[in-house]
Structure 1
Amino acid sequence: MIGNKQCILIVDDEVRMLVVLKDFFVAQNYEVLLAENGQVALDIHYQNNTMIDLILLDVMMPVKDGFETLIELRENKFDTPVIMLTAKSEEYDQIKGFQYGVDDYITKPFSLSLLIARVESVLRRTMKQTEQTHNLGLLTLVPSKRTVLLENKPIELTRREYDLLQYFILNKEITLTREQILLQVWGYDYQGDNRTVDTHIKQLRMKLKGCSHYIKTVHGVGYLFEVQV
């Protein structure tokens, strides 16, 4: 955020697209940064990551494409929301994007009304998740830093393990089916099966150690996150 305005980094190798999107978002009261390829976008992000609220990222670009840019961001633990813009409509590319940690996906050509609706939706979701710290038993989840503390000591979680734990905490004391978890944590285009959920929960429980019992198995249904005092 710059001043009281949310900041969007727009990444596209088409100059006309950059101009159109910049004018549109400025008119919508956003601050806008521009990059003509993935490498320039990364350089800008490294310098301004605390101010950038969302990235609109084209896929097909020279020097460094959208997927390569997204992978580098996530490998460096940056969780800035990313919406990918692409001319491709193949299902494989959408699945690939979600597996690498994209937040949403829009296929060109798109209407500006659809784009702003998607942007606002992702920003609302992100802001909601970063509003408060959650203290549950011996666990503390700090969304603004994507950090989990066990007895006030940080534990190392993968991006997916963190997302899974956060989803449980935000839906504590609610029985969740494997299908619900797969949809909300992995995304609607993920092609894996329910065993993926079981495997990640097993790994997450190991890292939670003495708090592993917070994640309860509801036989024949799914899982329940509950902390009993």
Structure 2
Amino acid sequence: MEQEARILVVDDEERIRRLLRMYLERENYYVEDAENGEEAVKLGLENEYDLILLDIMMPGMDGIEVCQELRKTKATPIIMLTAKGEEANRVQGFEAGTDDYIVKPFSPREVVLRVKALLRRSSSTKFLHTDTAAKDVLVFQHLTIDNDAHRVSVNGSEINLTPKEYELLYYLAQSPDKVFSREQLLKDVWNYDFFGDLRTVDTHIKRLREKLNRVSPEAASMISTVWGVGYKFEAAKE
């Protein structure tokens, strides 16, 4: 059987790395591991992983710092592992650019299910078939979103987005000119009902605009801030 995906497991506890490796390899994933943040950054930048499982609490460079470093150049899907279930840690992880989180102690089966779900949503997955005619495509003057392929093109150039950045853009673009509050975006895009620091949304909007702006300032300006309310996607379809 062909291996489905390449996954990096990062945790300072060997037993957890070994446990996750065992369950993920049973699903035929190719697994590599790192025991600290520095090693994780090195491997994450040098290799093309389909997903990273990243512990938040590590000596030296912690998971938040690792995520921030990787997000400077990589859109690899990241699931944060944390021993703390407090809201502040979730917010910190989301602000750093993580796509999902799992609280320790966790069920290895839950981890496998969350990995599969994120890989399905991932904009960088290698296993989506795009050779058939796309049925779910949003076309704007400077921007095209092919939801069948989870691909975003700006003036013909493909943009590398994280799964959460992609979901946020697609969610807004489906309803041009509709204003969404930060609370609504946090609930509908992140799928979490918690009252937290709404900077999570602001950080992702900022990162999304920056990526679009590198190719087209016009595309970046489509994501409009409605002061005191939230955000909207502002563009006329071609």
5+ residue gaps, structure 2: none
* Distance (Å, rounded) in 2 between the aligned partners of 1:6 and 1:154: 22
Amino acid corresponding to residue 30 of structure 2 in structure 1: E
Partners in 2 of 1:105 and 1:161 — Cα distance?
16
Look up the match of 2:154: 149
5 Å matches for 1:97-136?
A: 97-127=93-123, 136=139
- Checking the alignment, whether the CA contact within 8 Å between 1:25 and 1:32 is kept in structure 2 is yes
Larger radius of gyration: 1
Q: Is the 8 A contact 1:87 1:109 kept in 2?
A: yes
Quote how far apart the aligned CAs of 1:221 are.
10
Task: Read off the aligned partner of 1:97 and give its amino acid letter.
Answer: G
Provide Cα deviations, 1:143-199, integer angstroms capped at 9, x if missing partner.
88976524x4789x9x99876434323x25695632433434567354228x959x9
Relative to structure 1, the CA distance from residue 226 to residue 129 in structure 2 (aligned partners, 3 Å threshold; closer, same or farther) is farther
Q: Match of 2:46, as an amino acid? A: Q
Point out the more displaced range, 139-148 or 111-120: 139-148
Indicate the structure whose relative CO is greater, using CA pairs within 8 Å and at least 6 residues apart. 2
Residue 60 to residue 161, structure 1, CA distance change in 2 (3 Å) = closer
Q: In structure 1, what is the Cα distance between the partners aligned to 2:62 and 2:114?
A: 22
CA RMSD across the alignment: 4.4
Counterparts of 2:45 and 2:77 in 1: how far apart (Å)?
A: 15
8 A Cα contact 1:98 1:186, kept in partner: no
Does the Cα contact within 8 Å between 2:85 and 2:103 map onto a contact in 1?
Answer: yes
Q: In the alignment, which residue of structure 2 is the partner of 1:45?
A: 44
**Residue of 68, 73, 94 corresponding to 2:70:** 73
Q: Contact between 1:168 and 1:225, CA under 8 Å: does it hold in 2?
A: no
What residue ranges of structure 1 are gaps of 5+ in the alignment? none
2:56–2:81 Cα contact (<8 Å) kept: yes
Contact 2:176 2:233 in 1 (8 A): yes
Tell me the SS of whatever aligns to 1:63. Answer: coil
Q: Quick check: 1:16 aligned with 2:15? A: yes
Matched, 1:61 2:58: yes
Aligned counterparts, 1:149-168, within 5 A: 149-150=154-155, 152=156, 164-168=168-172
Distance 1:176 1:28, change over 3 A: farther
Aligned to 2:84: 88
Residue 71 and residue 196 in structure 1: after superposition, are their counterparts in 2 closer, same or farther (change >3 A)?
closer
C-alpha displacement at 1:138, in angstroms? 2.0
* Aligned partner letter, 1:43: K
Cα shift at 1:136: 1.6
Distance in 1, matches of 2:164 and 2:112, equals 27
| Matched position secondary structure for 2:115 | helix
AA in 1 matched with 2:198? G
Deviations 1:86-112 (A, max 9, x none): 111222111100111111111110111
How far apart, in 1, do the equivalents of 2:55 and 2:88 lie?
Answer: 16
Residues 56 and 85, structure 1, Cα contact 8 Å, conserved in 2: yes
Question: Number of aligned pairs?
Answer: 217
Deviates more, 1:52-61 or 1:160-169: 160-169
Shift of 1:215: 7.0
Task: Indicate the structure with greater helix content.
Answer: 1
Matches of 2:202 and 2:66, distance apart in 1:
26
Q: Is the 8 A contact 2:123 2:151 kept in 1?
A: no
Amino acid at match of 2:77: P
Tell whether the 8 Å contact from 2:37 to 2:60 is kept in structure 1 after alignment: yes
SS at match of 2:197: coil
Secondary structure at the counterpart of residue 61 of structure 1:
coil
Task: Write the letter of the residue equivalent to 1:5.
Answer: E
Using the size of structure 1 for normalisation, the TM-score is 0.72
